[in-house]
Amino acid sequence: MNMFDAATHPTPIGAERPTESIPVAVDQARLRVVVTAHHGFVWRSLRRLGVREADVDDAAQKVFMTLSRKLADVSAGGEKAFLFAIATRIAANERRSAMRKREAPIEDMGVDGPADDSMHRELARRDARAMLDLALDSLTPELREVFVLFELEELTGAEVAEVIGIPNGTVASRLRRAREEITLVLKRLQSSSGEGTP
């Protein structure tokens, strides 16, 4: 049973009702359409807003559970903006939780022999992902939201303004500041990672 089915199938009579469940009165057809259309967007947004990869599925479910409770209040066409607002709030909670627990070191990949090309590519991908995460973490939430939507989700400036609910000019100024900060952080990270290289 997938996330949508688990959330929308009613609990059998006599069975304990889960604490996170979708109200019976929800427009099931509309909810299914929204989940199908925006699940990838929500997952990527949560990841890029700082949620650990291991926690993204649970966080995405929280986003859609919240949507299910508020769906009747969300105007048609406004689902994406609503989902991003919820994802932003949930991501902030997840980041605070992760800071309390502190990140464990990257796990051993379990390779005893010499690494092959695919292993090198995987390690390079992880390094790039970790560097981007550090750069994104350096941004304020407001700058990060604009950068994620414009640069990573490839929304237009007008679409970003609509999703976040800010003027186009504010999008442009936040995007410029975010790019400047990201560039500085990436240069520092690349410089420091190169210091120990022979």
Domain boundaries, the chain: 1-7+18-102, 116-198
The DSSP call for residue 152 is I
Residues 6+ apart with CB under 8 A from 68: 7, 8, 22, 23, 26, 31
Report domain 1-7+18-102's class: mainly alpha
For residues 178 and 74, what is the distance between their CA atoms, to the nearest angstrom? 30
**pLDDT at residue 123, as a whole number:** 73
Token pair for residue 6?
């688990």
Token pair for residue 5?
């089915």
Task: Collapse the DSSP code of 139 into the 3-class scheme (helix H, G, I; strand E, B; otherwise coil) and give the result.
Answer: coil
- For 80-138, the pLDDT digits (tens) are 999 999 999 999 988 887 666 654 444 444 444 455 677 777 777 777 778 888 889 99
- Of 38, 58, 47, whose CA–CA distance to 88 is shortest? 47
Report domain 116-198's class: mainly alpha
**pLDDT at residue 18, as a whole number:** 42
Q: Give the gyration radius of the chain's Cα atoms.
A: 20
Positive/negative CA dihedral, 85, 80, 61, 129: negative
pLDDT of 183 > 70? The answer is yes
